[in-house]
Structure 1
Amino acid sequence: MKKILSELINNHFLVGLLLFIFSFFLYSNTLFHQFTLDDVLVLTKNKYVTTADYWAIFSKDTFAGFFTSSESTQLVPGGRYRPLTLAIFATIWPITQAPWFFHLINVLVYATTVLTLFYFLLTLPLKKTIPTSHSSFACLTTLIFAIHPIHTEVVNNIKGLDDILSLLLAILAWKTCHKPIFKNTLYNALTMMFLMLLALLAKESVVVFIPIAVISVWFFNKQSLMKVCITISPMVLALIIYLSLRLSTLSSNIDVTTLPELMNDPFIFWNGDQWLPLPWQEHFATVLHVLLLYLGKILFPMTLSHDYYPYAIDVTNFKTWTVWCSLLVHISLVIYTIHGLSKRQLPAFAIAIYLIALSLFANIFFNIGTLMAERFLFIPSLGFSIAMAWICLYSLNKVKNHLAIYIPLQLFLVMMILLAIFQTLNRAPAWKNNLTLFETDIKTSPNSAKLNNALGGELTKVSQEIPIKNSKSESAYLYRAIDYVKRASQLHPTYAMPHLTQGNALHFLGQHDQAIESYDRAIQLKPNYQEAKENRTKVKAYLTELNKKQEQQDKEQQAIDLSMAGEHEKAIYIFNQLINEVSSSKLLFFRGVAYAQSKKYSQALNDFEAAELLADPNNHQNMVRIWQALVSTYQHLNQNQKAEEYKQKIIALNSK
């Protein structure tokens, strides 16, 4: 059995194929999901993608096609330049707009990334750094990476293609670094530069692969610093080209002054009057706390969420034990990494990948606009997978002659793998659609202002998709929506969007005056809030029309009451006013009644005949009422034949 397993592991083609198939089927349930979350930004509501405007895609901010006003593009500080995935979406969109096809692309690219990682690890000279066979290590590392539940966000979210594709291309560029430096030098250099440039165009976060490649080439090839610099220089050149493109594209965003906004800067606080920067102690204590949370998420990914916006994670200080624990842990990791790299120890190399990749998102060197996101662990998980595979194989190798320990340890590792697979499969259904995702994750991040508002907005949207209007079900959705957006406003006192959402919900509930007040508050908080202004205008126009209809109904009822009281001339006068504005079967009928009661049968006949023409023929009760009036009027006019015709119509209709 052991020999068969060894032969299987060493069959690299078969193992690679199995890893690809396994990765594909692990996420195949996403094919039944809808568009979710940020898919609107880069796909469904990005006008440059839906119109296949490639020039705009490559010459403008990634989100410019969604945020159409110049003010709105500043919602993402610094801008984003990731045209490659948008170009892919723009190519697919005219062919099919079915969500499953875009999900299929994500899953296929992810499975290809897993396959590429496996073959890349096989090319590294790992023999002296691993405690077991090269094939076993490459297989286990890749398996851990493939099944890690932290990847569910990037694979389930179509927008996550930028993360997956950029990593795939970066691994291919990284692989090129380890080819012999003086063999096909120009070809290798151009290939490396091209792959790295494409990776950066997919997502700029793969810039971390430049320092990773430096350490990697030095670590495995034992080259001098000069040779290392020459080897990775095509990557640096690719970065220079990318930065040139980015700066020329996003230059309009430079020097734009924006007001402090909690959704873009988690390191500010509200003092009751204005937003102020957090004291440096709280700033860095919170950063350290988040670093420990990242470590916890990658080690124990049991509670997952797509949203960690303020205040899903509390601002903390150095009085909290987790901050000191994080400081101690990360200082220890840095010290070991430096020492371990000098000794050419693979776990140190793996930790270096983790720390370097995470440093970009850690808010240490610059503020990235959010405290935390699980997708930020996608690249760091590569280092984690290498480290965990080494630890597992090292532990098994150490106790292989002690069956009492070896077998339970094997079973434990198998259970951990199965648990990770289960968690990955269990998390996927949450991404079915926005409502499912938001309702699932609000349990994990109940204090996120952004998520509370998003859930309120989605509940409002879903309420309008219910076939029966003004139903209890619709009202229940809307009242829940209001509860969530009120919570968002409590968490973030200058957040304009919840007031917009609340205004929409109140409007649908028929509370139009309160809706206008909510829109006014949104505009007060954000004077250029175009959507709030448009919605307020629409609701005011609707309310004006509603009041006009109510006035007409009141006058109509007044005329009917006057007619019943015998004041026919006054009733007819009011009916004339109403009919001059808008003619209807109902108004004509009741004016005809007033004419008939005042013995003006010719005028009454004209109104009843006109009422019959305008009446809904499917409303049998109303048709019978009009025909009965016609029978009576014809009889008063001595047109008995016509009266008999309508009597027969009544009999025929009643017999149905």
Structure 2
Amino acid sequence: MNSLIGFVKKYPAPILFCIGLLLYSNTLTHDFVMDDAIVITENVYTQQGVSGIPGILKHDTFFGFFQDESKADLVAGGRYRPFTLIMFAIEYEIFGENPFIGHLINVLLYALTCGLMFLLFQFFFQRIFKSEKAFWAAFFGALIFAIHPVHTEAVANIKGRDEIMALLGSIAAFYFLLKSKKQNLGNWLLVFALFSIALFSKENAIVFIAAVPLYFFMIEKKGVVNALRISSPFLVAALFFLIVRQSVLGMGLGGDPPMELMNNPFLKWDGGRYIPFDFSEKAATILVILLYYLRLTVFPYPLTHDYYPRQLEVYSLSDILPWISFLVIIFLVYKGLKDFRSKPVLSYGLIFFAMALFPYTNILFPIGTNLSERFLYTPTLGFSLIFGWALMKYTSFPTKSAVFLKPGILALVLIFSGLTFYRNFAWKDNYTLFMTDINTSDRSAKLHNAVAGELSVRASGMEISNDRTEKLERSIFHSGKAIEIHPRYKNAWLLRGNAFYFLQRFEEAVNAYQNALRLDAVYPDALRNIGIAYRDGGRYFGEQKGNIVKALEFLNEAEKYLPDDYETMRLLGVANGVSGNNEKAVYYFTKAAELEPDEPMAWFNLGIAYFNSGDNERGEKYRSKAIEMDPNIMEKAGNQ
């Protein structure tokens, strides 16, 4: 044990770097997942490489995915995080669409954050403890951050680069500000640049414009004016960021909260429509959200990426859980204020945690979901600071009298590290993530919908088999659960229709698409898919079931949605010909030939239709045209 302690004391930052690296090494073989599509694989600017950088700088972060300003601002205030998108664009330019590179960079940046956090924490603790305890407080504080399982969402998801860079840039700027004994222009500009990188990575870094001067006021006991003066590069960088952000997005918070449950969790179904929560429901639910965040910080199990409605129930102030949360929060506020002078690190950690978490509490405006584990990435800096302080304050570590503490620390490290390493496997790809987390988030409409989609996509690429059928039946189950939770979930109706379509249950598919269109009459995917379902249903009823009446019913509906589709016109020609309506057969085969004039079979079918209608001259004309285009057309027609 003594040799281990000696080794740690010799190489603390490199050890923490290696711990961060090793814990997330099993993510390097993972694929793109979830929101990686928004910022990488389906973002038009990222996909352009370095030539897409001007577009990244000029638009909302989500614009490159939605390509529609109204959709890019689906949640309050918009998003302006160009720095990480520029990183992704450069990576794409050099390496192409390569998830290994994205994961590797995430892991390296996280490992660097862990090592740098130790160096930053030393400044906090050297004013509180003697050198030995100050070292271990900083080390264990950084260690608990490095191994904390709640960070998996930020690190294992490439899109989480924004969280990583926001914190890394902030603490790097903080560290160099503290490290410089004398302020000079070079150091001022370095701090300004590093914090600007943090802000342009993700807006939540702005918490450091309060956290940095607060450090000088609480820990170094400087006056308010002096604390603000020393922190000036942070304040100027924040002003610069806000000016740039305003010039691109404006300063509004997006107007009234959206009335779509997947973008505003504070809605409830009442009388066939969604209405906002009343004060009691919103206040109580927010209190429970805060309790969830506290629980995830100290007891991070089980973990899930999805807390969308109704993973959290609708609470009111008549429930007991909100009041438990209220009492816990009051106690923490009391401790933070009471110990402001006597235990400044404890107070600072509590205040930092609260400030960093506040934008994600839904108090000011709905953020689109109840909560998310990645939102704890920056706040856990405050928790880590408190952990390191408390361990040294209330124990005799690392002296021999702390012999019973050392196994406890080892057990905690092993448990947290094991949970982190194991949780990473869930982030392998969308299918693995969704199928894992549905066991935890079984009341989330969004996740049930995501599972339905993944099962349907997987099944669509399979040969006819019991496994394929089973996947599609499960997809139908999960889309049904999503609709049960969120009755106006148009995408769930769409995915339900898709699963029925792949099972050749065309009438049920059409019904599902119709329900989607009742919710959104111009829903492009539903309009396209219902047309295809009618067309292929018509083929199915005609060719496999011999029900020409049903076939014509479906094909006539298909024509309304697919008026320029060659196959629909061809099938209508065939169906009308089989039913003896030769005039309509000629009409539809003519339309088919006009749509595909280079298709020999189109002209051959038209010729046959004319023969059947008694017009042998035109029949011969178009048959000859088809034979001229393809001398083997007669043989092909016989094999149809």
> TM-score of the superposition, structure 1-length normalised?
0.80
Structure 1 residues 460, 547: closer, same or farther in 2, change over 3 A?
Answer: farther
Are positions 1:430 and 2:423 aligned together?
no
Candidates 473, 478, 486, aligned match of 2:467 = 473
Cα distance in 1 for partners of 2:342, 2:443 equals 46
Q: Deviations over 1:173-223 (max 9, x none)?
A: 222342467x23333332222221110110001111121112111122211
Structure 1 residues 520, 130: closer, same or farther in 2, change over 3 A?
Answer: farther
Tell me, what secondary structure is at the counterpart of 1:439? helix
Shift of 1:82: 0.6
Candidates 500, 514, 520, aligned match of 1:526 = 520
Structure 1 residues 209, 376: closer, same or farther in 2, change over 3 A?
Answer: same
Q: Deviations over 1:422-473 (max 9, x none)?
A: 111111111111111001111101110111111111111111232x2x3332
Question: Are the equivalent residues in 1 in contact too, given 2:219–2:344 (CA < 8 A)?
Answer: no
Match of 2:113 in 1: 113
Are positions 1:156 and 2:152 aligned together?
no
What is the identity, as a one-letter code, of the residue corresponding to 1:503?
Answer: G
Shift of 1:61: 0.7
What is the identity, as a one-letter code, of the residue corresponding to 1:45?
Answer: E
Match of 1:268 in 2: 267
Q: Deviations over 1:264-305 (max 9, x none)?
A: 111121212332221111111111111111111111112000
Candidates 485, 490, 510, aligned match of 1:516 = 510
Mapping for residues 222-233 of structure 1, pairs under 5 Å: 222-233=221-232
Mapping for residues 194-205 of structure 1, pairs under 5 Å: 194-205=193-204
Are positions 1:315 and 2:311 aligned together?
no
Cα distance in 2 for partners of 1:42, 1:130 equals 47
Cα distance in 2 for partners of 1:135, 1:407 equals 19
Q: Deviations over 1:141-161 (max 9, x none)?
A: 111110000011111100001
Cα distance in 2 for partners of 1:284, 1:372 equals 15
Match of 2:437 in 1: 441
Cα distance in 2 for partners of 1:266, 1:304 equals 20
Cα distance in 2 for partners of 1:78, 1:365 equals 11
Candidates 504, 511, 532, aligned match of 2:498 = 504
Structure 1 residues 580, 197: closer, same or farther in 2, change over 3 A?
Answer: closer
Question: Are the equivalent residues in 2 in contact too, given 1:9–1:136 (CA < 8 A)?
Answer: no
What is the identity, as a one-letter code, of the residue corresponding to 1:15?
Answer: P
Cα distance in 1 for partners of 2:121, 2:28 equals 29
Match of 1:139 in 2: 139
Tell me, what secondary structure is at the counterpart of 1:193? helix
Structure 1 residues 131, 266: closer, same or farther in 2, change over 3 A?
Answer: farther
Tell me, what secondary structure is at the counterpart of 1:93? helix
What is the identity, as a one-letter code, of the residue corresponding to 1:473?
Answer: D
Structure 1 residues 55, 581: closer, same or farther in 2, change over 3 A?
Answer: closer
Question: Are the equivalent residues in 2 in contact too, given 1:132–1:397 (CA < 8 A)?
Answer: no
Q: Deviations over 1:328-382 (max 9, x none)?
A: 1111111111221222432222222212211221122333222110001111111
Are positions 1:221 and 2:220 aligned together?
yes
Structure 1: tracts of 5 or more residues without a match: 559-578, 592-605, 617-621, 624-656
Tell me, what secondary structure is at the counterpart of 1:275? strand
What is the identity, as a one-letter code, of the residue corresponding to 2:426?
Answer: A
Taking only aligned residues, the RMSD between alpha carbons, in angstroms, comes to 3.1
Cα distance in 2 for partners of 1:213, 1:439 equals 42
Cα distance in 2 for partners of 1:517, 1:130 equals 73
Match of 2:407 in 1: 411
Question: Are the equivalent residues in 1 in contact too, given 2:195–2:237 (CA < 8 A)?
Answer: yes
Structure 1 residues 180, 436: closer, same or farther in 2, change over 3 A?
Answer: closer
The number of residue pairs the alignment matches comes to 571
Match of 1:570 in 2: none
Are positions 1:380 and 2:379 aligned together?
yes
What is the identity, as a one-letter code, of the residue corresponding to 1:450?
Answer: K
Question: Are the equivalent residues in 2 in contact too, given 1:129–1:346 (CA < 8 A)?
Answer: no
Match of 2:560 in 1: none
Match of 1:572 in 2: none
Q: If you compute each CA radius of gyration, which structure gives the higher value, 1 or 2?
A: 1
Tell me, what secondary structure is at the counterpart of 2:61? coil
Q: Deviations over 1:91-131 (max 9, x none)?
A: 11132212111111110111111111122223445242479
Question: Are the equivalent residues in 2 in contact too, given 1:129–1:344 (CA < 8 A)?
Answer: no
Match of 1:178 in 2: 178
Match of 1:364 in 2: 363
What is the identity, as a one-letter code, of the residue corresponding to 2:439?
Answer: K
Q: Deviations over 1:64-83 (max 9, x none)?
A: 11112344324333211111
> TM-score of the superposition, structure 2-length normalised?
0.82
Tell me, what secondary structure is at the counterpart of 2:479? helix
Match of 1:638 in 2: none
Q: What is the aligned-residue identity percentage?
A: 34
Structure 1 residues 507, 546: closer, same or farther in 2, change over 3 A?
Answer: farther
Shift of 1:257: 6.4
Shift of 1:401: 6.7
Question: Are the equivalent residues in 1 in contact too, given 2:213–2:231 (CA < 8 A)?
Answer: yes
Tell me, what secondary structure is at the counterpart of 1:270? strand
Question: Are the equivalent residues in 2 in contact too, given 1:23–1:146 (CA < 8 A)?
Answer: yes
Structure 1 residues 380, 580: closer, same or farther in 2, change over 3 A?
Answer: closer
Cα distance in 1 for partners of 2:254, 2:447 equals 30
Cα distance in 2 for partners of 1:296, 1:112 equals 27
Shift of 1:399: 10
Structure 1 residues 367, 350: closer, same or farther in 2, change over 3 A?
Answer: same
Cα distance in 1 for partners of 2:131, 2:441 equals 41
Cα distance in 1 for partners of 2:78, 2:318 equals 36
Q: Deviations over 1:464-502 (max 9, x none)?
A: 232x2x333222222211111111111011121111211
What is the identity, as a one-letter code, of the residue corresponding to 1:291?
Answer: L
Structure 1 residues 227, 509: closer, same or farther in 2, change over 3 A?
Answer: same
Q: Deviations over 1:394-441 (max 9, x none)?
A: 333189675xxx433321221111011111111111111111100111
Tell me, what secondary structure is at the counterpart of 1:165? helix
